[in-house]
Copies of this chain bind each other. A is one copy, B any other.
Amino acid sequence: MNAKDQGSTDTVPARTGAGRGSEGRGNGRRKPDLDAPYLRLESTIMEANIRAMAVSAQTRGLGLWPHAKTHKSADIGRRQLAAGAAGLTVATVGEAEVFAAAGAPGIFIAYPLWMTPARAKRLLAVARRAKLRIGLDSPGAAEQLARFDLPAEVMIEVDSGHHRSGCPPEAAGDLAAHAQSLGLRVAGVFTFPGHSYAPGGRDSAADDEARAVTEAVAGLNSAGITAPVVSGGSSPSVAYARKALTDIRPGVYVFNDAQQLELGACTVEDIALTVVGTVVSKPAGRMVLDAGTKTVGADRPAWATGHGRLLEYPEARITAASEHHATVEMPGPLPPLGSRILVVPNHACNAVNLHDHYVLAGGSGGSGAASGSAAPQTWAVDARGMN
């Protein structure tokens, strides 16, 4: 598929979205503007990613709780559950509401929430629809949470080397005992080995993860607490997950992105999500796309080769990005002005949060061989902005 073909393919995707669950909910979303950079989802690739992770988890005897912050979509969450996910992981109260309403039997807020009366009221409604678990990493947050009589379990967060939130593994037993003494029910421990997001870090982060949760579980056991759930896993490290885990919570695997590609956690063929941009300028041997940080996201880790990749031009690099400009350098002839270009975001989660809709191309419902003026099939980013 060359640039010209992409243009005609992506500008007019096939089949209308009539009858789709997420559309027409009166959520006030505008129809997608396909002249502006928009999110393009290859649903056949996404479905394959969902199946592959479900099979991998099942084969290894791991409970799969995909992190739904990546997609924020009820349509996609339901597909993950249908493929065998035990529940969905989320980061915020708003996401918990969206995915409980979408039918998830279990919701794990893998975040050390600071409880408030307003949040407790909303989570009470969530807990009526789904089994609810909430992250906890400090005695202070346990005391705050215990002021509300929420029908939820807590999960002790431990720091396995990413040095973000989470208590030290050796403190997990005391924290769990404190929580239990306050009347909270402890379901288990969890960690996020986010230091897997570094070249060569995937395997060693999985090692650190296993060591941390093993020490944490031993601490809980010493305190007389039997908590069966041991949850870990980031998309880069999940393939290396050790036997110490019972559950995994990968998120980005559903789409993949330039970070996963450059870390070796996926191939180009596994990338389901792109932002469709247009060549607007070709000054002095470079090319400028209109897909900048307001549509692709501004994530740019130091080890990345640029501000995202171009799906069909593997040698191209986005050397600079601003709100409405992606500056591309590449060998060979540049595509003509006006060409549609598929940009792979560095970080799918932040790219999705910039859009109201996925526009489907190919696979279930969508089609890459469209013509005419039919509206494209879209799925809503239901939890957009619920951060």
Tell me if A141 counts as interface (CB < 8 A to partner B). yes
Contacts of A114 in B (CB 8 A): 278-280, 290, 337-338
Which of chain A's residues 257-303 have a Cβ closer than 8 Å to chain B? 278-284, 286, 288, 290, 292-295, 297-300
Q: How far is the CA of A225 from the CA of B322 in the complex (A)?
A: 32
Which of B34, B112, B327 contacts A164, CB < 8 Å? Answer: B327
Tell me if A69 counts as interface (CB < 8 A to partner B). yes
Query: Does the CB pair B337–A138 fall under 8 Å?
Result: yes
Query: Given that A280-B114, A322-B194, A350-B323 are contacting pairs, would A93 and B387 also be in contact in the complex, using a CB cutoff of 8 Å?
Result: no
Contacts of A164 in B (CB 8 A): 288, 320, 322, 325, 327
Nearest chain B CB to A280 CB, angstrom units: 5
Q: How far is the CA of A356 from the CA of B286 in the complex (A)?
A: 35
Tell me if A385 counts as interface (CB < 8 A to partner B). yes
Query: Given that A69-B323, A350-B293, A350-B294 are contacting pairs, would A280 and B35 also be in contact in the complex, using a CB cutoff of 8 Å?
Result: no
Which of chain A's residues 72-105 have a Cβ closer than 8 Å to chain B? 91-94
Tell me if A333 counts as interface (CB < 8 A to partner B). no
Q: How far is the CA of A320 from the CA of B93 in the complex (A)?
A: 23
Q: How far is the CA of A111 from the CA of B37 in the complex (A)?
A: 14
Query: Does the CB pair A338–B144 fall under 8 Å?
Result: yes
Tell me if A168 counts as interface (CB < 8 A to partner B). yes
Which of chain A's residues 318-342 have a Cβ closer than 8 Å to chain B? 320, 322-325, 327, 336-338
Contacts of A52 in B (CB 8 A): none
Number of interface residues of A (CB under 8 A): 72
Contacts of A37 in B (CB 8 A): 387
Segment at the B interface, from A14-22, A23-31, A205-213: A23-31
Contacts of A92 in B (CB 8 A): 36, 324
Nearest chain B CB to A196 CB, angstrom units: 13
Q: How far is the CA of A140 from the CA of B288 in the complex (A)?
A: 14
Which of B140, B283, B386 contacts A159, CB < 8 Å? Answer: B283
Query: Does the CB pair A288–B337 fall under 8 Å?
Result: no
Query: Does the CB pair A165–B295 fall under 8 Å?
Result: no
Which of chain A's residues 25-57 have a Cβ closer than 8 Å to chain B? 26-30, 33-37
Query: Does the CB pair B283–A293 fall under 8 Å?
Result: no
Nearest chain B CB to A89 CB, angstrom units: 12
Which of B35, B299, B356 contacts A385, CB < 8 Å? Answer: B356
Tell me if A167 counts as interface (CB < 8 A to partner B). yes
Query: Given that A293-B299, A324-B387 are contacting pairs, would A118 and B350 also be in contact in the complex, using a CB cutoff of 8 Å?
Result: no
**Residue among A26, A34, A93, A299 with the highest chain B CB neighbour number at 10 A:** A299
Tell me if A247 counts as interface (CB < 8 A to partner B). no
Which of B35, B91, B138, B280 contacts A141, CB < 8 Å? Answer: B280
Query: Does the CB pair A168–B283 fall under 8 Å?
Result: yes
Which of B281, B347, B349, B354 contacts A165, CB < 8 Å? Answer: B281
How would residues 112 to 128 of chain A score, 1 for a CB under 8 Å from any chain B CB and 0 otherwise?
A: 11101011000000000
Nearest chain B CB to A182 CB, angstrom units: 15
Which A residues are within 8 Å of any B CB, using their own CB? 26-30, 33-37, 69, 91-94, 111-114, 116, 118-119, 137-138, 140-141, 144, 159, 163-168, 194, 278-284, 286, 288, 290, 292-295, 297-300, 320, 322-325, 327, 336-338, 347, 349-350, 353-356, 385-387
In order of increasing CB-CB distance, the 8 nearest A-B pairs are A28-B28, A298-B298, A165-B281, A294-B387, A140-B337, A298-B299, A91-B324, A165-B288
